[in-house]
Amino acid sequence: MQGLSLFRLTSDRRTVNLASWHSPHSLTWRWILSAGFQRIVFAKPRGMWKTTGPHVYRCGSIGTVLSAFAMRHNNGWQFGLTVLGLAISFSQQRPMWFRDLYYAEQNRRYERRAA
């Protein structure tokens, strides 16, 4: 899949990718906007969770009616909102380029030869 993709099914039957971008020169997608149905995860009447570090995660909910989260991973962000089990999320990440993998493999070969 390359370039802009609209309305694609995923391996999860409850989720559909509304739109996504995959560069032809990249091994990974750049961003995805998806929607679907999710199980209600948060049982507390109200909750707020927060972590810091390389993987920042912030989450909050109001009972089982509304929940939202923001998470940093893969040098990108993921945002989500769930209302009564209907979820929409946006994810973006830094793409992995073929040339980066090629140069990394070349560097490993040079290091092996030098050792």
pLDDT grade for 79, boundaries at 50, 70 and 90: very high
Report d(CA 17, CA 104) in Å as an integer. Answer: 32
Return the percentage of the chain with pLDDT > 90, whole number: 21
Considering only 26-40, 56-70, 81-95, which range has the smallest mean pLDDT?
56-70
Instruction: Identify the residue whose tokens are 């090629």.
Output: 102
> Taking 80 as the threshold, does the pLDDT of residue 35 lie above it?
yes
Q: Are 59 and 81 in contact (CB under 8 A)?
A: no
